[in-house]
Copies of this chain bind each other. A is one copy, B any other.
């Protein structure tokens, strides 16, 4: 049996296409009482993006805090808030932010139409009812959350996604201008999430040509972005010299067409956004591997954010991904990244054991990485030694 992969229904890509969000939502506002929930990362409070939201009188603005990775309890709290806001269901949920915000928007759209608590649905295909129509507007690229069929949540017992076809976004708005001002360190860690899951997927045992085609191209794009230090700045300089309207996306024309001059802006932001999209698509018939499994352990016990957690874990996995780790270290060197060290130092035995349990629980990831006999290779002792290296 092959998975029948559910794709995002509509994708819009282009510099400045965020301005078309109002038109897109218009089609969901079927009557005068229709309303929309904007789920927005609270780092944008008071920023330009807040003023650009296509907010209508009856809409709800839900600022979310993603300093910690999304918890099931937080999803339940948000769901309750939306239920209290109005007596009808919203016509659309719009998630604007990085992977965590997009995951919250997905989870909210599912929990508004499915009874009980979100932790009841952590797992595979447990969702019964279709979700509320939901849109992703990534402001950070790398996680692939914009195309994946999961929403990763930390529950009372585990960090595990709500995996279902209903989780998939109905619409994705890919505007590379929105990721322009991401702080370089965050950009690096989130980009590495994409780089690492491509390495894991391409080197895994589950891969087929569908996932390989997406994964290889995502990897190429990551290399163009992260091994090519300085290119972004050069592009910006050309833009500034050439045409001042360039950076506001005014060059766009009808029907997805872009003017000749727009070519100079086809820079790293565009590539990184496509890398994230392709990286997410490559998981369709594949799986992540050892690094993601270990990073889930780190996140669960230490609350480490996903991107940085992946980097910390990957740096300890030279034995399993020798070429990938070598290239990753070169990227760190170019971008002057100093990884946190000794993050598991002084950890209690209980926490270490729990961390190992969480990581070992992700069986498909280990099988993808090491094949069917993975349990003989990835023993508790072996895993402990890996965690000790981090």
Which residues of A approach B to under 8 Å, CB–CB? 1-14, 16-17, 20, 24, 171, 174, 176, 205-210, 212-213, 216-217, 221, 252-260, 262-263, 266, 270-271, 273-274, 278, 284-285, 371
Chain B residues near A221: list those with CB within 8 A.
213
B208 touches A256 (CB 8 A): yes
CB contact under 8 A between A5 and B1, given known A208-B270, A262-B208, A274-B209 = no
Chain B residues near A371: list those with CB within 8 A.
260
Nearest chain B CB to A87's CB is how many angstroms away? 30
Chain B residues near A252: list those with CB within 8 A.
1-2
State the majority secondary structure of interface residues on A.
Answer: mixed
Nearest chain B CB to A1's CB is how many angstroms away? 5
CA distance A278 to B212 in the complex (A): 12
B258 touches A208 (CB 8 A): yes
B24 touches A2 (CB 8 A): no
Nearest-CB residue, chain B, relative to A208: B258
CA distance A254 to B364 in the complex (A): 12
A12 touches B7 (CB 8 A): no
Chain B residues near A274: list those with CB within 8 A.
209-210, 213
A12 touches B8 (CB 8 A): no
Nearest chain B CB to A167's CB is how many angstroms away? 14
A1 touches B255 (CB 8 A): yes
Nearest-CB residue, chain B, relative to A13: B210
Nearest chain B CB to A208's CB is how many angstroms away? 5
Most B-side CB within 10 Å, residue of A4, A20, A212: A4
CA distance A132 to B271 in the complex (A): 37
Chain B residues near A14: list those with CB within 8 A.
2, 208, 210, 285
CA distance A270 to B16 in the complex (A): 36
CB contact under 8 A between A13 and B2, given known A258-B206, A271-B209 = yes
Partner of A12, one of B3, B24, B205, B271: B3
